[in-house]
Amino acid sequence: MAAVKAKGKLVSIVINNEYIKICEITKTGKNVIVHKTVTIPTPEGCYEDGILENIPNLASAIKAVMDEHRFASKDVAFSISSPRLATKEVLIPNVKGDKVGKIVQANATEYFPVNMDEYIIQHTILEKIEDSGQDKLKLMVAAVPSEVAESYYNLAKTLGFKIAFIDYVGNSTYQIMKQQIGPEVSLVIQVENDSTVINIFKENVLQLQRMIPYGKSMLVNAVMERYELKYDAATAKLQNETLLHSRFDGDEVTESLRYMASNINRVIDYYVSRNRVSIQKAYLIGHSTTIKGFATLLSNELNMPIEKVERLKNIALDKKAYVEEATLTSYVTNLGAVFDPVDFVPKRMADSGVKKENTKTLVIALAGAVVVAAALVLVPLGRVVVLNAEISKLNKSIDKLSSINDIVNEYYAAKDENNDIKTFAALTADSDDSLQDFVDYLEKNMPSDVVISSFNITSGAVSISGKAGSKASVAKFIQQLQKSPSVINVDVPTISESKDNAGSVEATFSLTCTFIGTTSADNNSTSNKTK
């Protein structure tokens, strides 16, 4: 069943192990009109590790709810949610047209250490950048197992639908969220049932996207165990009661989110340390926005204010739609899938289309071969002998150069190992690792009459309280901090000056800043360049 591009209304479906979300929408230019929305639980045994199982039962559940709500369109778009889907940011030369796809396919084994015969590769162009004096394209490359995409084609066939395209959750989220945020360096956290997608944007362009295997289900399972409730009842309790504390303090329900928060923090540290910039805004989307206390806990643990996305730009409601605008944020993935999707087409589906085209090409080729054969009869025998000799000579040259394949393979293997080591080193680094450097800098450059009474640093966020002989000394202290290449965002929320009866002046102050430090990966990189 070949993929088609839908016109007019389109049904957008997202399936995971918890729910099936269905939207009927129309895309008009840069806007999307929403006609209908509905969410149902995923039937038991119909979703396993990203693959759709028991297709007849799954199709029956979807058809029943679509008939009930009078969905009209038979064109469908899917956005895959699967832990088996992998993504990677890559740089390639600045080429045009279909050459981008050819480069991606040719280098796919460098990006993903899997059997490419079993995977479908797609890409999204993020931006054009300059790297080492050359124009290059930054891409987000995604790989999904063919069996995952094939299961969606089987579902569409059982439903009697035509597939417009198959996107994936990461790209769908990126396409819609870049329209919702400003040009600041922004963190977007999308919490799903079994995973969390972390996106970092700069000037509305995706800079980094990571998926961590911790989602809402950990929290729900903790509530189920503590209060002896079923899944739906535990979810409702989280939405109606504030069970989460504002900090990790040993409470078993709150502690269930510690691994999630820790991994989000590690991704942030990785980006900040490599790019020497701070996160300026943070957004929360997905089902977690309805859980009371979730945003507060995450904000406190990440040490930054987090804004819940509750309204979507460029999304409009059909005047006849029985949909509340506030509920649209829970359909972010469905809506984002139609803006600029990739299209995962299983290889056997693509091959069937190629075979039809090849049959036509073969007929033309055979006819041409007859003409060529007739012409060859007229070629002098001596010319044929000369050509055969040249071919033999070229084949010998090819045999001599064949050993280069082993050298190339060794090079790519060493390159992959080197990249893995660098990535691991960067992930294990933290700005607090260079704390002693920061303390040494303070001791050397702090004015002599400045006395620090309290000092706190967490993942690079520094807060200092102290006293000085005058405001001028505090100002000099601030100037010294601003001169340091490892310190950014110096802010002084409070400063006051007082005199005692003897006329002695004392200034009291508090300040905050961000210490970005130097990671081991950075040091290694610098060392290598020096060599």
Taking the C-alpha atoms of 186, 427, 254 and 291 in order, what is their torsion angle to the nearest 10 degrees? 30
**When comparing pLDDT for 324 and 33, which is higher?**
33
pLDDT of the residue at 183: 92
Query: What percentage of the chain reaches a pLDDT higher than 70?
Result: 83
pLDDT of the residue at 306: 93
pLDDT higher than threshold 60 for residue 5: no
Within 10 Å of residue 295's Cβ, how many Cβ atoms?
19
pLDDT of the residue at 17: 85
Amino acid symbol at 397: S
Q: Per-residue pLDDT averaged across 202-222, rounded? A: 90
SS (H, E, C) 442-458: HHHHCCCCCEEEEEEEE
Burial (CB count <10 Å: 0-12, 13-18, 19+), residue 28 = exposed
Single out the residue of 15, 11, 127, 133 nearest to residue 70, CA to CA.
Answer: 11
**Minimum mean pLDDT range among 190-204, 210-224, 385-399:** 385-399
pLDDT higher than threshold 80 for residue 28: yes
Q: Per-residue pLDDT averaged across 310-322, rounded? A: 84
d(Cα 453, Cα 455) in Å, to the nearest integer?
A: 7
What is the chain's mean pLDDT, rounded?
Answer: 84
Give residue-wise pLDDT tens across range 218-240: 999 999 999 999 988 999 999 99
Q: Per-residue pLDDT averaged across 381-407, rounded? A: 70
Give residue-wise pLDDT tens across range 325-334: 767 888 999 9
Helix/strand/coil percentages in the chain, nearest 5: 45, 30, 25
Q: At 427, is the pLDDT very low, low, confident or very high (cuts 50, 70, 90)?
A: low
**Which H helix or E strand runs over 51?**
strand 51-52
Q: Is 91 helix (H, G, I), strand (E, B) or coil?
A: strand
Give residue-wise pLDDT tens across range 456-511: 888 778 899 999 988 889 999 999 988 888 888 889 988 998 888 888 889 999 99
Is residue 94 within 8 A of residue 128, CB to CB? The reply is yes
**When comparing pLDDT for 255 and 387, which is higher?**
255
pLDDT of the residue at 522: 42
Q: Is 319 helix (H, G, I), strand (E, B) or coil?
A: coil
pLDDT of the residue at 399: 67
pLDDT of the residue at 525: 40
Q: Per-residue pLDDT averaged across 282-292, rounded? A: 87
d(Cα 299, Cα 283) in Å, to the nearest integer?
A: 10
**Minimum mean pLDDT range among 362-366, 394-398, 521-525:** 521-525
pLDDT higher than threshold 80 for residue 75: yes
d(Cα 268, Cα 198) in Å, to the nearest integer?
A: 9
Is residue 524 within 8 A of residue 422, CB to CB? The reply is yes
- Chain Cα centroid distance, residue 64: 33
Single out the residue of 326, 312, 308 nearest to residue 32, CA to CA.
Answer: 312
Q: Per-residue pLDDT averaged across 32-56, rounded? A: 93
**Which H helix or E strand runs over 351?**
helix 347-377
pTM strictly above 0.85: no
Q: Per-residue pLDDT averaged across 263-268, rounded? A: 94
Give residue-wise pLDDT tens across range 344-357: 998 777 665 544 44
pLDDT of the residue at 531: 38
